[in-house]
Amino acid sequence: MATETLTGAQALIRSLELLGVDTVFGLPGGAILPTYDPLMDSKKLRHILVRHEQGAGHAAEGYAAASGRLGVCIATSGPGATNLVTAIADAHMDSVPMLAITGQVNSFSIGTDAFQEADIVGITMPITKHSFLVTRAEDIPGVVAAAYEIATTGRPGPVLIDFAKDAQNGKFEFSWPPKIDLPGFRPVTDPHGKQVQAAAELILKSHKPILYVGGGVIRADASKELLALAELLHAPVTTTLMARGAFPDSHPQQLGMPGMHGTVPAVTALQKSDLLITLGARFDDRVTGDIKSFAKGAKVIHVDIDPAEIGKIRHADVPIVGDAKVVILMLIAELKAQMKDSKPDYEDWWIFLKGLKERYPLGYSEPDDGKLSPQYVIQRIGELSGPEAIFASGVGQHQMWSAQFIKYERPNSWLNSGGLGTMGYAVPAAMGAKVAQPDRLVWAIDGDGCFQMTNQELATCTINNIPIKVAIINNSSLGMVRQWQTLFYNSRYSNSDLNTGTDTIMVPDFVKLGEAYGCLAIRVEKVEDVDAAIKLAMETNDRPVVIDFIVGRDAMVWPMVPSGISNDAVQYARDAAPIWDGDE
């Protein structure tokens, strides 16, 4: 094998190039400087200089979530590395394939409390899929290749590599491909045939099945297969917050999102079902509510690539460990073989579900204060942008409304922080998504609270010609906090006012802030201006756009199941529970 003498830093850049990485988001500092030098010469790697390392982390996540490819971020040691922590934890919760590269002090200084030294491998142990500390240049190609393999194979997740400065500076004979030595890493992708057979039998015996679809279907790129399975069975489908877009919202079998702010049909269908066909979902508490009363009458088929998810929260009658795409294809073949020419009959089930869909569609009432209805704004953004666009959201009310009122037709079109619930995700994630998919329209739908956490990346967007559109759903408060304070704390609004509304001191003024960052920035307060503003944003591609939508602050997210309560108690609107036909 031909070799070449390289420094560790050169080897790191070369390894990333050889692995097909084309973009890295980062910010240099002392301990990573050796790597930034050869990075400058790379023809294949585009480095995007962020304004805060958390932005680099979320941008890498957005890049990965929009494209399905590995997202990469770089930071220096100490505070640079710790600033990545939130994004790494976020990627861990939402199974995002991510590589975090950090500089570390010289190996001989590790442990001496040297300048900008932090034990980032130790800090990130519980929030990474794996992490490496590299102290020798010659280990770099093998470790980088192993990290790539771990981050992208099986259940995806973040991997961190901490490079001591002397490892970056050391010279060695580089050769490619390196030997990847991971004897303890053997993800199972092909399921047991017997389990698939058992699942098919259970499905054909059921009368009230539901496909409970999670983010794993998106990560496994199994949407097409899911559609085929759903149509073969003619079973209802619910897509979790992480799976919005995994199954088209326009499809008549789609019931919408389940969980705390799920649709009445989806929440109720899960509760009344006799079989949950669980695909890449993990029975999150925001989906199940009180677990003891969740879907009590249902048997469970649980398909997941991570064996630890199966049986973690809910017992699985038929556990299937495997890649969602492979499992669904096998299940379709098995069902066809078992069904012969007959189709399962779910007519009574559908009569019940269709009744729910008719009686309890998603809706909202206009705010009393005459301001814009946030749901309307979000719905119009979705309608005017269409299903080929990408929508990234922050966390809170606007996130739930974006999950509810935008119609998703394809996977990877909805990006959000589901598991960790990271405020500030939207702007940098949208930036990463736009870099990964430059031809798509990319929206960050953000709250006035979230936006103030990471908006400095608008500088990155303007300077690097990344024309994202930011819609601030400005209710002048931490909206979801306010909603809970209204409902559960006697309307005592402890520390949830942000003073960003037009009837406040308006600090900051988001239009001025957007302009300061070189964006086209406008404010919208009237319903008749909403469409024109959205269209203006869509037509403006020479710079980012910020629209400050002033919305009513008392709008609430409905339906809602209060935290820790049975999903049977879903409320359609405040103090309005669905009315059952007396049979329950």
Partner 1 sequence: MSTQHLLSLLVENKPGILTRVAALFARRGYNIESLAVGTTEIEGVSRITVVVSLDGQPLEQVTKQLNKLINVLKIVELEEETSVARDHMLVKVRTDSSTRSQVLEAVTLFRARVIDVVSDAVVIEVTGNTAKCQAFLKVLEPFGIKELVQSGAIAVSRGSKSMSEKVIR
Is residue 53 annotated as a catalytic residue, yes or no? yes
Among 24, 120, 121, 395, the residue binding partner 1 under the rule CB under 8 A is: 121
Quick one: which of 49, 98, 62, 58 has its CA closest to 434?
62
Quick one: which of 406, 419, 408 has its CA closest to 473?
406
Distance of CA 410 to the CA centre of its chain: 14
279 HSE (CA, 13 A, CB side): 34
Is residue 172 annotated as a catalytic residue, yes or no? no
Q: CA dist 93 to 88, 97, 281, 494, Å?
A: 9, 11, 12, 29
- Choose, from 10, 25, 53, 195, the residue flagged as catalytic: 53
Nearer to partner 1, 182 or 516 (CB): 182
> To the nearest whole angstrom, how small is the minimum distance from the Cβ of residue 146 to partner 1?
9
Q: What single-letter amino acid sits at 11?
A: A
Q: What is the dihedral of CA 256, 262, 265, 266, to 10 degrees?
A: 70
Is residue 347 annotated as a catalytic residue, yes or no? no
Pick the stretch among 31-39, 177-185, 221-229, 370-378 that binds partner 1 (CB under 8 A). 177-185
Q: In angstroms, rounded to a whole number, what is the distance separating the alpha carbons of residues 264 and 258?
A: 8
Size, binding site for partner 1 by CB under 8 A: 17
Is residue 165 annotated as a catalytic residue, yes or no? yes
107 binds partner 1 (CB under 8 A): no
DSSP E strands: which ranges in 240-342? 254-256, 275-279, 299-304, 318-321
Nearer to partner 1, 39 or 121 (CB): 121
Is residue 338 annotated as a catalytic residue, yes or no? no
Q: In angstroms, rounded to a whole number, what is the distance separating the alpha carbons of residues 45 and 435?
A: 13
* Angle, vertex CA 305, rays to CA 436 and CA 408, nearest 5: 45
Among 136, 234, 286, 312, the residue binding partner 1 under the rule CB under 8 A is: 312
Among 22, 306, 497, 529, the residue binding partner 1 under the rule CB under 8 A is: 306
- Choose, from 10, 132, 165, 330, the residue flagged as catalytic: 165
> To the nearest whole angstrom, how small is the minimum distance from the Cβ of residue 323 to partner 1?
16
Residues 435-494 contacting partner 1, CB under 8 A: none
> To the nearest whole angstrom, how small is the minimum distance from the Cβ of residue 151 to partner 1?
11
Q: In angstroms, rounded to a whole number, what is the distance separating the alpha carbons of residues 522 and 548?
A: 6
Residues 490-549 contacting partner 1, CB under 8 A: none
Residues 124-163 contacting partner 1, CB under 8 A: 125-126, 129-130, 133, 150
What track of x and - describes contact with partner 1 for positions 183 through 222 (by CB under 8 A)? xxx-------------------------------------
- Classify 498 as helix, strand or coil: coil
Give the pair of three-digit tokens for residue 255.
Answer: 């019931």
Q: Is the peptide bond prior to 252 cis by the omega test (within 30 degrees of 0)? A: no
- Choose, from 480, 483, 549, 560, the residue flagged as catalytic: 480
Query: Site residues (CB under 8 A) for partner 1?
Result: 121-122, 125-126, 129-130, 133, 150, 182-185, 306-308, 311-312
Indicate which residues carry an active-site annotation.
53, 115-116, 165, 480
